Structure 1
Amino acid sequence: MLTSNAVSTIAQTIQLSVAPVFLLAGIGAILNVMAGRLGRVVDRARMLEQLHPKSVGPEHDRHVWELRLLDRRISVINASISVIVMSAIAVCLLVALLFIAELTHLEIGNAVAIVFVLAMALLILALGLFLLEVRLALRSIRIREELLERKGRRSLP
């Protein structure tokens, strides 16, 4: 049977682990956004793969250019997802280490700090890759000048 001191220790450890758990929830939300973007990129690539054989001339060249860009975006977002999942794993490890340290009275404060710094570094890297993917996406949505011109009218300044 647990003593009141043991229950108090467990309660304090749970309080310590609340912040990393909120961090984990935030990482999960970011991961959800990344997975959604990946799905949209894959859908667009599949659509272009169907149009590619039927296209010729400048249209074909645009399809090839966009497929290359989509391939790059898929690679970047996959890397971002992998890194953010590693960050989430590090946060889970951090929570486990907090409990292990508290319950076994081990002095592993340095390990806890290192795991926290690792989780933050991985999160920063994942967000940087996500920003890169967003920048790549913006490159693909530029509207071609010929589509903006009206026949018989000047284009806007």
Structure 2
Amino acid sequence: MPTENLIQSMQASITPCIFISGLGLVLLSMTNRLGRSVDRIRTFTAELKTASDEEAPGIRAQINIIYRRCHILQTAIGLVAVSMFFVSSIMLMLFSTLAFNIQLIAFIKIFFTASLGCFILALVFFFRDVCLSLDSLKIEMENLR
């Protein structure tokens, strides 16, 4: 293999590696948010057992919002995982193209597009989670009045 082709192949392989690292950081952030949401639901359910009749509706409303957030985060995490699968597959296809001279350019383009699409959808769900967390905070602030 000529040196130019090797250098180009290595440069092409760097992009998926950087992308998968970024996806990993986003995934870490999302799983942390999910864990905190689950912990918050457990805290609220414990509070609900001793809450007065006046406090209970506000606590239930917050539990419902946080539970919806958990489902949204679950979807976002799944989309990031699928995006990581596509990026990993791209790396395998790039290696196969280099090592075995198999032309998989069309598949690489499709998988890259699918990976970006999944990542964009995951970010949309992630933003929705942020918006819902503010709704929950609004309920908590109203209970202070």
Settle same-fold status: TM greater than 0.5.
Answer: yes
Question: Number of residue pairs matched?
Answer: 143
Structure 2 regions of 5+ residues with no counterpart?
none
Are residues 1:57 and 2:38 paired? Answer: no
Are residues 1:113 and 2:115 paired? Answer: no
Q: Which residue of 2 aligns with 1:38?
A: 34
Q: Which residue of 1 aligns with 2:144?
A: 147
Q: Which residue of 2 aligns with 1:14?
A: 10
Deviations 1:97-134 (A, max 9, x none): 11111222122211110000000000001111101111
| Paired AA for residue 109 in structure 1 | I
Return the alpha-carbon distance in structure 2 between the equivalents of residues 126 and 17 of structure 1.
Answer: 24
Q: Which residue of 2 aligns with 1:29?
A: 25
Are residues 1:79 and 2:75 paired? Answer: yes
Indicate if the aligned counterparts of 1:9 and 1:103 stay in contact, CA closer than 8 A.
Answer: no
Structure 1 regions of 5+ residues with no counterpart?
149-157
* C-alpha deviation, 1:11, in angstroms: 4.9
Return the alpha-carbon distance in structure 1 between the equivalents of residues 125 and 131 of structure 2.
Answer: 10
Larger radius of gyration: 1
| Paired AA for residue 30 in structure 1 | V
| Paired AA for residue 53 in structure 1 | K
Return the alpha-carbon distance in structure 2 between the equivalents of residues 36 and 7 of structure 1.
Answer: 44
Give the helix-richer structure, 1 or 2.
Answer: 2
Indicate if the aligned counterparts of 1:76 and 1:130 stay in contact, CA closer than 8 A.
Answer: yes
* C-alpha deviation, 1:55, in angstroms: 1.3
Choose from 73, 86, 100 the match for 1:104: 100
Indicate if the aligned counterparts of 1:10 and 1:103 stay in contact, CA closer than 8 A.
Answer: no
Return the alpha-carbon distance in structure 1 between the equivalents of residues 131 and 38 of structure 2.
Answer: 17
Deviations 1:12-58 (A, max 9, x none): 42221101110111101111111111111111111011111211222
CA RMSD of the aligned region, Å? 1.6
